Structure 1
């Protein structure tokens, strides 16, 4: 028998049902999963960190900072913007990017000091 499964089917129905009823709806969870996936790429995570420290940066600066091409950085910025983690504004011929409040919150939540897990 697998160590990660019960050997006997027993449900504490009242407790399980109260927890099930308290779960968020599917739509907010889908949006949250999309945001988490957006930061799941190392390049996008580097871009988000650069925006956290640099406040507002153009694609040219971001490409230099993260060591990638402008085309690749633009691609990743589109994904971050679609996930609602960054916002942009045009400044003449430049497009300036900054972390949205949701991006700042998610980034600070994911970059908390790592806690060593107990060995299993």
Structure 2
């Protein structure tokens, strides 16, 4: 028994239709940035942190670690990864560093959680 192959048996390009679609596809730089952002929330720990930030607006690492039930070091590591893909921003407040979702981070977190049937409620 042969495996089915997921390709056409003949060249059947509908060039006008394919070209119209091709013109709407974002460039590779945009696609790469979007994939990086999506990958940023592709980890359960980072998604939990993002959900906590969505609910609490702005949190320091200490509060966030308590909220998600993980060590400060682990939370800090994941925050750095979220910051690297522009989903989180930070600011210094005296001796504290406060973190919040960027607008892009807020939208992506809401979309991911909504697609999973979960809603973020802000506190």
**TM range, normalised to the smaller chain?**
0.7 to 0.9
Q: 1:38 to 1:25 in 2, by over 3 A?
A: same
TM-superposed CA distance for 1:5, in Å, is: 3.4
Number of residue pairs matched? 115
Tell me the TM-score normalized by structure 2: 0.86
TM-superposed CA distance for 1:113, in Å, is: 4.5
Q: Give the Cα separation in 2 of the matches to 1:110 and 1:62.
A: 20
TM-superposed CA distance for 1:3, in Å, is: 6.2
Q: Give the Cα separation in 2 of the matches to 1:68 and 1:111.
A: 20
Structure 2 counterpart of 1:42: 44
Structure 2 stretches lacking a partner, 5+ long: 118-123
CA RMSD after TM alignment? 1.6
Tell me the TM-score normalized by structure 1: 0.88
- 2:105 aligned with 1:103: yes
Superposed structure 1 runs of 4+ greater than 4 Å apart: none
TM-superposed CA distance for 1:7, in Å, is: 3.6
